[in-house]
Copies of this chain bind each other. A is one copy, B any other.
Amino acid sequence: MVESETAAVKRASIGAKRNPASQNAILDAAEAILNEEGLAGFSIEAVARRARAGKPTIYRWWPTKTALLLDVYQRFKNTRPFPDTGSLEGDLKAFLNNQLIGFWQDRLCGTVFRSIIAEAQGDDDAAQALFAYERGRRKFAEQIIERAKARGEVSAEFNGAVVIELLAGFAWHRLLTGRLNNSDEDIDAVVAMIMAAAKNGLRS
């Protein structure tokens, strides 16, 4: 049986929808534009041109510019090893330094994330994409506390979710109020505060 052209095209189109190579080509193009032209030069149109893809193809995978930006941002972040220093204090400092504040100081990462957060405040699709991403990162980071519990560094009752959100909130606040620089001393103070709370929990 000879496959009709329509069927073949339809199949190819469905295939393209799930083709990681094409997705990566688009993400590569998006990343290159960000690196070369900054956020101001970033648009679905520019990415389509550079990736030699149709705009509809891009919109099929990323409903908004913010969703595409968030995926590029995640690729940047995934190049950073997640902290596992062997101590709670070391992990919390590395989390703030490498995953949050220090990461945002690197190239455009902070600028991109600020603009994603801003976009999410007025656009429901952008908000859902950011909230899902952020929830996932927070859950992932809670491993820091789980490991500390396994080592007996903190009690089983220690509220890991709240600690991670306090640290993330502190870092977001620094990013959004333009105060990423000169955070080192305050990062130490934040971590010292959490460590003091953790020690108190073990004693009581």
Interface set of A (CB-CB < 8 Å, partner B): 114-115, 117-122, 127, 130-131, 134-135, 159, 161-163, 165-166, 168-174, 176-178, 186, 189-190, 192-194, 196-197, 199-201, 203-204
Neighbour of A170 across the interface among B115, B165, B174, CB < 8 A:
B165
Give min CB distance, A25 to chain B, whole Å. 29
Query: Closest chain B residue to A186 by CB distance?
Result: B162
Indicate if the CB atoms of B176 and A162 lie closer than 8 Å: no
Neighbour of A118 across the interface among B118, B190, B193, CB < 8 A:
B118
Given A166-B170, A169-B169, A172-B172, decide whether A134 and B197 contact each other with a Cβ distance below 8 A. Answer: no
Give min CB distance, A166 to chain B, whole Å. 5
List chain B residues, Cβ under 8 A from A117: 117-118, 121, 176
Q: Which 3 A-B pairs give the minimum distances between C-beta atoms?
A: A169-B169, A169-B173, A118-B121
List chain B residues, Cβ under 8 A from A120: 176
Neighbour of A169 across the interface among B114, B130, B170, B201, CB < 8 A:
B170
Neighbour of A194 across the interface among B177, B189, B197, CB < 8 A:
B197
Cα–Cα, bound, A115→B122 (Å): 7
Cα–Cα, bound, A154→B199 (Å): 16
Give min CB distance, A137 to chain B, whole Å. 11
List chain B residues, Cβ under 8 A from A203: 200
List chain B residues, Cβ under 8 A from A161: 186
Cα–Cα, bound, A161→B130 (Å): 29
Given A170-B169, A172-B169, A172-B172, decide whether A163 and B121 contact each other with a Cβ distance below 8 A. Answer: no
Cα–Cα, bound, A117→B199 (Å): 36
List chain B residues, Cβ under 8 A from A163: 193
Give min CB distance, A111 to chain B, whole Å. 9
Indicate if the CB atoms of A173 and B177 lie closer than 8 Å: no
List chain B residues, Cβ under 8 A from A115: 121-122
List chain B residues, Cβ under 8 A from A201: 196
